[in-house]
A and B are shown apart, each in its own frame.
Chain A
Amino acid sequence: MRRNPLTLVGARPEPSFQVTFDGAPLDVLPGQTIAAALWSDGITSWRSTRVEGRPRGVFCGIGVCFDCLVTVNGVPNQRACLVPPKPGDEITTQRGDGHGAV
């Protein structure tokens, strides 16, 4: 089996729970942030910028840069690298400033 971070440190994660990302089911390990859960599913972008509509994801990874903003349960501008999701959360790609249609 290919080595991965979980096997490297002998992790025994608690049972996963489900949220949705843009309507599709996404499994989350308790303790992971939204960004970590999305990365685990191979997703690296969850925002399109306000001016050019360009895709963005994690950049600084520690809450400084605000590039990884995402919408959770309709509330925009959540930093995916900091916020841990809760079971049933509806996570959606943030378009523009996240307030209404672009």
Chain B
Amino acid sequence: MAQYELAVVGAGPAGIAAALTAADAGVRVVLLDSAPEAGGQFYRQTARQLHARRPQRLYHAWPAWERLRDRLAAHRSSGLITFLADRHVWLVEPGFAVHALIGPEQQRSETVTADALVLATGGYERVLPFPGWTLPGVLTAGGAQAMLKAGLVLPGRRAVVAGTGPLLLPVAAGLAAAGADVAGLYDSADPRAFAKHASALIRNPEKLVEGAGYAAHLARHGVRIRFRHTIVRAHGSERLEAVTVARPDGSQHRIECDTLAVSHGMLPHVEIAQTLGAALTDVGTVAVDDEQLTDIPRLWAAGEATGIGGATLSLAEGEIAGRSAAARLRGTSPPPNLKAQRTRRRLRAFAEVTETAYAPPPASVWTAHVDDETVLCRCEEVTAGSVREAVSELGATDLRTVKLLTRAGMGWCQGRICGPGVAGVAGCPQTPAHTPFARPVPLGVLAETISITEGTPS
């Protein structure tokens, strides 16, 4: 079992920054990620064998990535950073033993141990349900982007991008640049909400320039951006044929398309932190102090897992976590890093504004479009009607009871996808589900791991 000083789970911007900063201070680091290459979702890499000569056309802030990539390569050659790709971490035991399934097949598990741990597990998308959202051709905005960046493919020819959040702009811009006919971008947010927070916006001019850049790009492709428009239905029998969007005045219009890229913001991956007993905030992110340290000794968290805020904020948080981990491992206090701390303060203020302005519509609004036939739990095929019955006929008042009565949230994804939808329709608060493992594990792997951990004393 390989032993390291620091393990970093997740090789997106936060995890890479933490690993690089710690390695700069001489710490021996193991960096694990589920993808075949480092980069995370923001810098998800095009498959090597496709030999993209101009990969920067698909990315924002490519030069920053080149610097990270080169520093990572240098630390890997010097042996300070060991990068383990294709590792799906499913359990971390206190102390820390990191268990990861290997490769896309995920039939074998491997364990590394480390004195300290940084969780940079990122986030995934929230999609609020609507009739037709299970049709092939409907997919998450981030999923469309990931498939485009990694495999250089499009899901169809004519796409609508809808939902809410800052992710919709780059996704629509990427699809249009790659040759898709983008029939429109429909965001339920009200741009007037931004005006109320002018000071946080003015202190983050690069964010405004970034947004304006995407908007200009979309304008060049003739793509219209419509705010205060809500996706209410996807049409089709065997696959997506059209969507219906509601205008601010409540009237509806139908748009023919074969692709809908939809997202209602991001949710943090917190399962590993939860299993280790780390405290969460009241909005369900991993709670951290000024050094990105959790309330568990030698456990840090950085990036989207500690609050959705984008790649630049993740880089600053990762750097702060890496610097703190390096110092604490040597029994000292981290030297101040004023630049990273300033960046973190400024971008967290900006993230609060975007979280408010791009808040998903209230449940009372979107559940009105969800008819009883709409499937909420995609894995177990549980309809809104069944969930409503569990509440009104059977008296369920919390998500756990709804799950036990209907099976909503019991499937492969362990409720990650349907959680917000089921909670909204049931009228229950969405509580983070306590899952013992961060992802489904073959029983053989489980038996083997337990025999290692509980076997002969070493």
Q: Which residues of A contact B (CB under 8 A)?
A: 2-14, 29-33, 35-36, 39-40, 44-45, 49-52, 54-67, 69, 78-79, 81-84
- Please, which residues of chain A bring their CB within 8 A of the CB of B150? 33, 36
Classify chain B's interface size: 35 or more
A82 CA to B44 CA in the complex, in Å?
A: 13
C-beta contact mask, B25-44 vs A, less than 8 Å → 1, else 0? 00000000010000001000
In the bound complex, residues from chain A placing their C-beta under 8 Å from that of B321 are none
Chain A residues near B249 (CB, 8 Å)? none
Known: A45-B136, A64-B124, A64-B416. A9 touches B46 (CB 8 A): yes
Other-chain residue from A32, A36, A64 in contact with B417 (beta carbon distance below 8 A): A64
Judge whether A67 and B153 touch: CB under 8 Å. no
Chain A residues near B51 (CB, 8 Å)?
Answer: 11-14
Closest residue of chain B to A4 (Cβ to Cβ) is: B179
Given the known interface contacts A36-B147, A61-B146, the answer about A66 and B53 at a Cβ–Cβ threshold of 8 Å is no
Q: Which residues of B contact A (CB under 8 A)?
A: 34, 41, 46-55, 57-58, 88, 104-105, 124-125, 134-140, 142-148, 150-156, 177-179, 238-239, 378-381, 411-413, 416-417, 440
Given contacts A60-B124, A61-B146, A62-B41, contact A10 B136 (CB under 8 A): no
Contact residues in B for A65 (Cβ distance below 8 Å):
378, 412-413, 416-417
CA distance A40 to B152 in the complex (A): 9
| Distance of A5 Cα from B57 Cα, bound (Å) | 10
Which chain B residues border A11 with CB–CB below 8 Å?
46, 50-53, 152
Of A2, A36, A49, A84, which contacts B381 at CB under 8 A? Answer: A49
Chain B residues with CB under 8 Å of A82's CB are: 104
Closest residue of B by beta carbon distance from A75: B105
| Contact (Cβ within 8 A) A59 B152 | no
